[in-house]
């Protein structure tokens, strides 16, 4: 990624369409340019360990255990990190992004996660999610000292 670029993490929900009764919780690493977001998607896709459960249809991958999403409560909000090692034996991260989200955003995300029992991890350009480039259905998050 370009040095000095602004990376954010969006924590919210993703509605499949206007008739979708229950949107999916989503964590999206957002970049300033579409090129940066696509490069990050390619990197994360090369690291993830999930599989595509359906032979046809959209490229949705499930069961990844290599990419970790963490939420850590802080006095000024909740720190969200997305971390991935290219090889689990490595000490350093091949991918790392961090941002502060509001307590309200986290609580809403967590309530939706409790209902759906999964969330989508993807990338974004600005506020536009790029699920065609990366769509990982994840089940686990790590939480420490977060609001309920």
In a domain, 80, yes or no: yes
Task: Give how many domains the chain has, as a whole number.
Answer: 1
Ranges of residues in the chain with a pLDDT under 50 are 1-4
In a domain, 17, yes or no: yes
pLDDT given for residue 35 in this prediction: 97
| Domain around 80 | 8-144
In a domain, 21, yes or no: yes
* Chain-centroid distance, C-alpha 141: 10
In a domain, 114, yes or no: yes
Predicted structure pTM score: 0.92
pLDDT given for residue 20 in this prediction: 81
In a domain, 2, yes or no: no
pLDDT given for residue 5 in this prediction: 60
In a domain, 27, yes or no: yes
- Report H helices in the chain: 34-47, 103-116
* b (16+ CB within 10 A) / e for 67-85: bbbbbebeeebbbbbbbbb
pLDDT in tens, 1-38: 444 467 999 999 998 788 888 899 999 999 999 999 99
């Amino acid at each position: 990624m370009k040095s000095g670029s602004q990376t954010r993490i969006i924590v919210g929900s993703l509605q499949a369409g206007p008739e979708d009764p229950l949107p999916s919780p989503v964590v999206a690493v957002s970049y300033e340019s579409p090129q940066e977001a696509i490069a990050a998607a390619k990197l994360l896709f090369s690291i993830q360990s999930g599989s595509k459960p359906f032979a046809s249809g959209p490229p949705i991958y499930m069961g990844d255990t290599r990419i970790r999403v963490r939420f850590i409560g802080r006095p000024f909000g909740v720190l969200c990190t997305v971390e991935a090692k290219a090889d689990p034996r490595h000490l350093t991260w091949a991918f790392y992004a961090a941002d502060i989200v509001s307590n309200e955003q986290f609580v809403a995300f967590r309530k939706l996660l409790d209902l759906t029992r999964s969330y989508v991890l993807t990338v974004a350009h600005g506020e536009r999610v790029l699920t065609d480039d990366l769509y990982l259905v994840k089940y686990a998050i790590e939480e420490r000292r977060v609001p309920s």
